[in-house]
Structure 1
């Protein structure tokens, strides 16, 4: 009997909920995802092993070495090895084998040894897959709680292809990602971009068969998976995409790898490291590798160590206080020169902030690299309530003729539905935004959506300010100009700091000390 989506989701959530006595919900993912993937691997290996045994009933004519060679050649795509080989404690590093020992002391150590053994036995597929595994320590997660989680998870259906499709399995994984983010706020939400935002970006960039897709801040891998899923839904071959991602946090990179495997996507690379300081995808000459489609939802206004001499820094170097434009510069450098396009979600500040960011913005606009600015509703994300925007870039000279020499502005800030914890974009909202993006004419704000193509001459006349309210009057009329408000705040703040510094100098000269600077 086929396993339903709701059945697997309920079972897995019940297992996760066993952790409530030991840790906050924001930390559930570090335990549940490695256990879930371990069970998936074990169930798959066991299923394939039974098929092998049935085909070679008895194995009387095969030596152990011959049997192993045939099994791994024809039936298995990865290895589940033994741990403590050659000792009285020898057992296979499988879910069912360790589950049989949950009542014994040292469960966390056996789980850790099993996961490490699987990583070591499959270095090309599973190297560093399970992350740091600190949760296997008794001081972090007591053995009796880990045992309860494993028992509860074991009540979920067998996670192999003969019993459960990858669509169901991948859907269950995404369900847990969303559930953890919904219930725990920013910590879990840091690596989870709402699915509808991901779908919108992918729809705009429209990946095609055999293209390469790259996410420099890939989090849980949702954008890479969405690229393959959309292509498949459009009648294409999602499996033909080359999927590439980089993630700074080791455990989150493991979540991404497991997520991709759960969706039956095996042609991928997920590297670990700081993309701005140490990009891991490079050409032989040391320059950054280039891709057809680049997507990202980087951490907003991240403090960083600015580049001193980096070819990615077109137009200048982003300030230490915000790496927003540095991520954009990296994405631009990563675009294939013939058909590269990029979509990134960022806060509205990138549209109008001055100083070094203004110089970069001017260079990008003068190079006609920015194709579209799309204003999104506020409170879409788990980690922030601020309104965000999508910026779409095209490699130099690759815009369609109607889009050359200007920028398409779309205001979708009023298109949302209120949900329990945040606002959401509906399928209709996404479709309407994509339609406006592909339209050759301006939209008049009907149904809460406005669009206007603005020539570069008008943008230059506005000092290269990209604030949507300057170009779509509906936005300007319905809300105060956010750029003007922030500029006024920054001026007032600088004046206050200057006055405070003068006051401290006067007090110090008078011999009065003890004031905090």
Structure 2
């Protein structure tokens, strides 16, 4: 019987829930994802191993062990689960089932760590540094009893291989855990998880095509890369043809991204570890930045950083030390392919109007006609911040459509959201309406030619001359005036008035008392 999405998600959460006695929910991912991926690898390897044995029955007498191994890894296996401690009494395969059989023996964490390290070493091209720091395997961090309980609970999940469940189910379960951990972990979730509807909106706008390259310079858990492949697949294309690239500063999070991509059956990817601004890892042989067709990012907002001193990415100047927002934009612009490069990035509204060095960069970007669109999003969409954000869409020099040149499209979707438990969300209808507005035609006044009534999104194409006249300020409110002013809550206004009046009266009484003490009277008549 086919495995249901709900069944595997429920079992996996049961395993994660065993950690509640040992650590806060914000730390669950560092344990659960490596264990889940280890089980997936082990189940997959064992499934193919059984296929090899069934289809080659009777060859034992004809082949040496080395010949049998060569055939199995050539025709059946795509990675290796090696043997640890070979030639000793502790010899065993570094597989889930093998270590699970020793679960009652002391030193479980040590055996788990040795197995995961052995898998990384045996598959350097695929799994190098995949499992992260693995500090949780230490008895001081996670007791053997709790680790055993987690593994026993996870072992009750169905076998995680392609013969038992689809990659859609498996990848969906991974996504479920990512979201569940984010819902419970507060601000730390922003390190690796961007809400899926925001990801989908950016990817819909950028519209990746088959065989294109997609790059995320702050890739977190890899959600934007996966969404690019999923969109292409949903439109009848082959998502696996995309060449996916990502860089992530946090090693454990980079491991989460690699595992996420594998769980979605995406193997044409390269995830690098490092600070993108300080040490970009994707470069051409001559040392210059590699170029990509599609670039997506949700970088850390207003990050303090060490500004560049002499870097070719510094278009229009260098971003201030207090905020690297525009530095990430400059990096993305420098990474756009010259023929069809486009980029979408989520940032706080401050990038639209802040002065100083950021204003100089903004001016250069606008003068070079690189910014195509500004999309205002609702507040409280993200786990890491409640502030309103926006999506900036860029095109490589000279590649804008003729009707979009020498101007910027402004879209205001700030009122389009549905409240949920911890944050606001964009619905599928909201996303569709924003994408429709993005693809709209505009008249000479910059208004949509075919607005779609009350369900539409406020949008306007603004010529560059008007933006220049406003001092290169991109604040959305300067260019879009809502057709209807929202009705104020009369009760709230009355309450606010009464509070303000009481405060004014208290201030006047204090002032009169001071004047009276000074011998000045007559002001209270």
Report what 2:469 is aligned to: 461
Report what 1:81 is aligned to: 82
Q: Residues 59-98 of structure 1: matches in 2 within 5 Å?
A: 59-98=60-99
Report what 2:25 is aligned to: 25
Superposed CA deviations along residues 462-485 of structure 1, whole A, max 9, x for unmatched, are 000000000001299669xxxxxx
Give the whole-Å Cα distance in 2 for the aligned partners of 1:46 and 1:296: 37
Report what 1:513 is aligned to: none
Give the whole-Å Cα distance in 2 for the aligned partners of 1:337 and 1:190: 31
Give the whole-Å Cα distance in 2 for the aligned partners of 1:453 and 1:96: 60
Superposed CA deviations along residues 400-454 of structure 1, whole A, max 9, x for unmatched, are 0110000000000001011111000000000000000000123468336200000
Report what 1:473 is aligned to: 481
Report what 1:291 is aligned to: 292
8 Å Cα contact 2:296/2:343 also seen in 1: yes
Which secondary structure does the structure 2 equivalent of 1:185 belong to?
helix
Report what 2:432 is aligned to: 431
Q: Does 1:446 align with 2:454?
A: yes
Report what 1:275 is aligned to: 276
Give the whole-Å Cα distance in 1 for the aligned partners of 2:376 and 2:61: 69
Superposed CA deviations along residues 110-149 of structure 1, whole A, max 9, x for unmatched, are 0000000000000000000000000000000001000000
8 Å Cα contact 1:342/1:393 also seen in 2: yes
In the TM superposition, residue 62 of structure 1 has moved relative to its aligned partner by 1.1
Superposed CA deviations along residues 322-347 of structure 1, whole A, max 9, x for unmatched, are 00000000000000011000000000
Q: Which moved more, 1:63-72 or 1:187-196?
A: 187-196
8 Å Cα contact 1:352/1:467 also seen in 2: yes
Q: Does 1:51 align with 2:51?
A: yes
Q: Give TM-score, length-normalised by structure 2.
A: 0.90
8 Å Cα contact 2:102/2:108 also seen in 1: yes
8 Å Cα contact 1:170/1:262 also seen in 2: yes
Which secondary structure does the structure 2 equivalent of 1:363 belong to?
helix
Distance change >3 Å, CA 456–CA 7, structure 1 → 2: same
Which secondary structure does the structure 1 equivalent of 2:295 belong to?
strand
Report what 1:7 is aligned to: 7
In the TM superposition, residue 237 of structure 1 has moved relative to its aligned partner by 1.1
Which secondary structure does the structure 2 equivalent of 1:373 belong to?
strand
Report what 1:352 is aligned to: 353
In the TM superposition, residue 93 of structure 1 has moved relative to its aligned partner by 0.1
8 Å Cα contact 2:406/2:463 also seen in 1: yes
TM-align CA RMSD? 1.2
Which segments of 5 or more consecutive residues in structure 2 lack a partner in the other structure? 488-525
In the TM superposition, residue 279 of structure 1 has moved relative to its aligned partner by 0.1
Give the whole-Å Cα distance in 2 for the aligned partners of 1:80 and 1:243: 25
Superposed CA deviations along residues 212-269 of structure 1, whole A, max 9, x for unmatched, are 0000000000000000000010011111100000000000000000000000000000
Give the whole-Å Cα distance in 2 for the aligned partners of 1:364 and 1:345: 17
Give the whole-Å Cα distance in 2 for the aligned partners of 1:438 and 1:35: 44
Which secondary structure does the structure 2 equivalent of 1:327 belong to?
helix
Larger Rg: 2
Give the whole-Å Cα distance in 1 for the aligned partners of 2:402 and 2:93: 62
Report what 1:493 is aligned to: none
Superposed CA deviations along residues 65-87 of structure 1, whole A, max 9, x for unmatched, are 11101100111000000111110
In the TM superposition, residue 42 of structure 1 has moved relative to its aligned partner by 0.1
Superposed CA deviations along residues 156-196 of structure 1, whole A, max 9, x for unmatched, are 00000000110000000000000000111111332100000
Report what 2:408 is aligned to: 407
Superposed CA deviations along residues 57-111 of structure 1, whole A, max 9, x for unmatched, are 1322111011101100111000000111110000000000000011110000000
Report what 1:257 is aligned to: 258
The total of aligned residue pairs comes to 479
Which secondary structure does the structure 1 equivalent of 2:252 belong to?
helix
Report what 2:379 is aligned to: 378
Q: Give TM-score, length-normalised by structure 1.
A: 0.91
Give the whole-Å Cα distance in 2 for the aligned partners of 1:399 and 1:187: 37
